[in-house]
Structure 1
Amino acid sequence: MHCFEIEGGHKLSGEITPQGAKNEALQVICATLLSKEEITITNIPDIVDVNNLINLLGDIGVDVKRISQDTCSFKAANIDLEYLQSTDFRKKASSLRGSIMIMGPLLARFGKAYFPKPGGDKIGRRRLDTHFIGFEKLGARFHYNPNEIFYSVEADELKGCYMLLDEASVTGTANIVMAAVLAPGKTSIYNAACEPYLQQLCKMLVSMGAKITGIGSNFLHIEGVGSLSGCRHRILPDMIEIGSFIGMAAMTGSEITIKDTAYDELGIIPDSFRRMGIKLERRGDDIYIPKQEGYEIETFIDGSIMTIADAPWPGLTPDLLSVFLVIATQAKGSVLIHQKMFESRLFFVDKLIDMGARIILCDPHRATVIGLNKETMLRGTVLTSPDIRAGVALLIAALSAKGKSVIQNINQIDRGYQNIDQRLQKLGAKIKRVQSK
């Protein structure tokens, strides 16, 4: 096992390019199961979760060719459905939550799909009801074996229908859309997720021959087709990485440029950082963050404390709330961070408190941060990354802290951030990967 050793308090400078979006990659790679023809995907992030999914598809029978570091071709002409019942499949699939999205394509194309209870981040209850209720509405039979914690769906024939999702689940919507594109008839999905990555999935499916309208809205309409062809698809830059780099520049008082951000797809993320007092400038498709010695959190018009809360798109993505929380520790002013969608994502604040941050954890969903206004630096310490997003927030804190910090369990960070230590070293960060003692 490795850990990061970080010497904090150093300025960063230069340019950095975000990796391809992890959350989009998991969706579009699963979608390759829908066609027998070759599909080429570019700008794939070289991270643990995505590589594990690619390897899993290879085990299922997909012919995967690595064309370059960020480009792969997939040809799902010979799928081994019996492998889905194997112990090896259960072990590998259960370790990666995103691989739940193989169920929709397999159900659509073969009339059956199996999956173990997925793992992933330990960030509270993340139910799968939306996925399976959607499959059932399309005509599938759902079975859950509580003894083996194993899910199965089967259908003699899927049929298009109207459905109102009980929650705007991103992975749930993706799974249902992928099941519906080959289902005869018309499927209408109301309260669908509309995140840019879901839009990207739909655009990729359309390029394969699917008939989908309403893309970008929460009301999708799908006309089932008989088969899908191959295509070439490019993944968007990762908005979570972009937000992480903005926060990193602010916390360390650094001047950096984030290249090729697909700015128009970032929604309210830039303005949310501006509400925290962070200056940033759009330059074409790049984001320039000037050096700031301090930043002040805005208040609402009536003078009440600013609230930063997550919400389904076009609201603020929950994956960035940990970054907003950590940058607030060095701001002037106070903010209430309200994590509505997951009940355990704020529990890493005790580590920030150990570093000297002023944070009141109100309950599993809310934390009030009283900024130190950079008058007192955070202290370096030994930290443990509990999940991907909290892990990078702790990394940002360590880069800004006085003294040395050690971050353990960095495999969590590696799941979502590509060679983050090497890329930050090029900006001047004092970070190195070492063997844990």
Structure 2
Amino acid sequence: MGVFKIEGGHQLKGSIQPQGAKNEALQILCAVLLTPEKITINNIPDIVDVNKLIDLLRKLGVKIEKLQKGSYTFQADDVNLAYLESDQFKIDGRGLRGSIMIVGPLLARFGKGYIPKPGGDKIGRRRLDTHFEGLIKLGAKFGYSREEQFYGVEAKKLKGTYMLLEEASVTGTANILMAAVLAEGQTTIYNAACEPYLQQLCKMLNRMGAKISGVGSNMLIIDGVESLGGTEHTMLPDMIEIGSWIGLAAMTKSELTITNVSWKDLGIIPETFRKLGITVERKGDDIYIPAHTDGYEIQSFIDGSILTIADAPWPGFTPDLLSIILVVATQARGSVLVHQKMFESRLFFVDKLIDMGAKIILCDPHRATVIGHDFKSTLKATTMTSPDIRAGVSLLIAALSAKGTSTIQNIEQIDRGYENIDERLRAIGAKIERID
């Protein structure tokens, strides 16, 4: 297992371009199973989770050709359905959570879809009920082996229906949507997720011949079609990585430019960082962060009460950036309450920050109060372990701002979501070394 050795306390400078969006890639790649025709996808991030899904598709019989860095063609004209019931698939499918989204396309096109209980971050319960309840409403028969933790759905023909989702699950909406595009009749999905990445999936499916209306809203109406064709798709930049670089610039008092960020798809992310006192300037389609040599001050609510930053479904603030907000607040002027509503284990990494000297009160599994140092006391270097992708990057940002040399273990977690992060950070002046 690899580790990062980080010498903190250095200012960074330059520009950095965000990778293609991880969470979009996992949806878009599963959608290639919906057609036997060739699909070209651009701006695919070279990260562990995405590469695992590409490998899973290859084992399913999808023909995959790499055109250049980040660009591939996919053709699912000879899918190996026998692989779905093999012991190897039960191992491979557990490797990442995004594998759950192959079920909808397989069910729609071939009448059956299977998946072992998927893996992913250990950040609390992540139920699959929304996925399978939606597929059952479309007419699928559901089966589950508790002993093998293996799920399956089968249907001779899916039929459109109305459904109100229990939660606005992004992956759940994507799975149901991909099944509904080939169902007979009209399907209405109310309380659908409406994240930009879900919108991207809808736009791609419509170019393939699907009939989806209400894109960008929480009510999607899908008129089923007989078949879908090929297309070309380019993925958005990763908004989580963009938020990570904003936090990195502030914590290290660095002047950074984040290029080609697709401002129109960032929602309230820039404004949320501004509430922490961070200057986020728009320059064309770039973000410019000046060096915060005098620090940054957290705003209060208009009645003077302590600022609370909480996650919520889009267009609310993404839960994937709350870890970044929390670590950035440790050096702010003022205090903030961070409320992680969706996952009950995502804040447990704060004990590492406390070891580094941060002033954090973990109120309960969902809430933490951060009292900023205002850079009057620097964080101290330490040895730590990355528990999940987002917490791992937050600890990396803390280490880059800390005094001394830190070591981060289990960096495979970080590699799951960030492409060549050590090389890209070195290019802007970071002192970071990967040790195998």
Q: What range is the shorter-chain TM-score in?
A: over 0.9
**Deviation (angstroms), 1:51:** 0.4
- Match in the other structure for 1:109: 109
The count of residues paired between Structure 1 and Structure 2 equals: 435
Please tell me the residue identity of whatever aligns with 2:26.
Answer: L
Deviations 1:184-229 (A, max 9, x none): 1000000000000000000000010000000000000000000000
- Unmatched 5+ stretches in structure 1: none
- Match in the other structure for 1:378: 379
**Deviation (angstroms), 1:378:** 0.1
TM-score, with structure 1 as normaliser: 0.99
Please tell me the residue identity of whatever aligns with 1:400.
Answer: S
- Unmatched 5+ stretches in structure 2: none
2:11 counterpart of 1:11: yes
Give runs of aligned pairs for residues 161-240 of structure 1, distance below 5 A: 161-240=161-240
Please tell me the residue identity of whatever aligns with 1:320.
Answer: L
Aligned mates of 2:239, 2:385 — CA distance in 1: 24
- Match in the other structure for 2:422: 421
Give runs of aligned pairs for residues 302-317 of structure 1, distance below 5 A: 302-317=303-318
**Deviation (angstroms), 1:109:** 0.1
- Match in the other structure for 2:158: 158
Aligned mates of 1:258, 1:225 — CA distance in 2: 41
Please tell me the residue identity of whatever aligns with 1:114.
Answer: Y
Q: Is the 8 A contact 2:310 2:317 kept in 1?
A: yes
2:139 counterpart of 1:149: no
- Match in the other structure for 1:253: 253
- Match in the other structure for 1:94: 94
Deviations 1:79-108 (A, max 9, x none): 011100111111011111001000000000
TM-score, with structure 2 as normaliser: 0.99
Aligned mates of 2:240, 2:68 — CA distance in 1: 24
2:392 counterpart of 1:391: yes
Aligned mates of 2:246, 2:149 — CA distance in 1: 41
- Match in the other structure for 1:126: 126
Aligned mates of 1:145, 1:99 — CA distance in 2: 18
Aligned mates of 1:18, 1:178 — CA distance in 2: 27
Aligned mates of 2:69, 2:388 — CA distance in 1: 25
1:144 aligned counterpart, secondary structure: strand
**Deviation (angstroms), 1:280:** 1.2
Aligned mates of 2:177, 2:319 — CA distance in 1: 23
- Match in the other structure for 1:243: 243
1:395 aligned counterpart, secondary structure: helix
Deviations 1:275-313 (A, max 9, x none): 000001000100000010200000000000000000000
Q: Is the 8 A contact 2:52 2:95 kept in 1?
A: no
Aligned mates of 1:394, 1:361 — CA distance in 2: 17
Aligned mates of 1:351, 1:398 — CA distance in 2: 11
Deviations 1:373-430 (A, max 9, x none): 0000000000100000000000000000000000000000000000000000000000
Aligned-residue CA RMSD in angstroms? 0.4
2:428 aligned counterpart, secondary structure: coil
- Match in the other structure for 2:319: 318
**Deviation (angstroms), 1:121:** 0.3
2:92 aligned counterpart, secondary structure: helix
Please tell me the residue identity of whatever aligns with 1:426.
Answer: A
**Deviation (angstroms), 1:367:** 0.2
Deviations 1:57-91 (A, max 9, x none): 00000000011120010000000111001111110
Aligned mates of 1:399, 1:80 — CA distance in 2: 46
Please tell me the residue identity of whatever aligns with 1:381.
Answer: T
Aligned mates of 1:229, 1:95 — CA distance in 2: 29
The percentage of aligned residue pairs carrying the same residue is 70
- Match in the other structure for 2:287: 287
Aligned mates of 2:424, 2:156 — CA distance in 1: 50
Question: 4+ residue runs of structure 1 moved beyond 6 angstroms?
Answer: none
Aligned mates of 2:389, 2:292 — CA distance in 1: 27
Please tell me the residue identity of whatever aligns with 2:362.
Answer: L
**Deviation (angstroms), 1:139:** 0.3
Aligned mates of 2:14, 2:388 — CA distance in 1: 28
Aligned mates of 1:157, 1:410 — CA distance in 2: 44
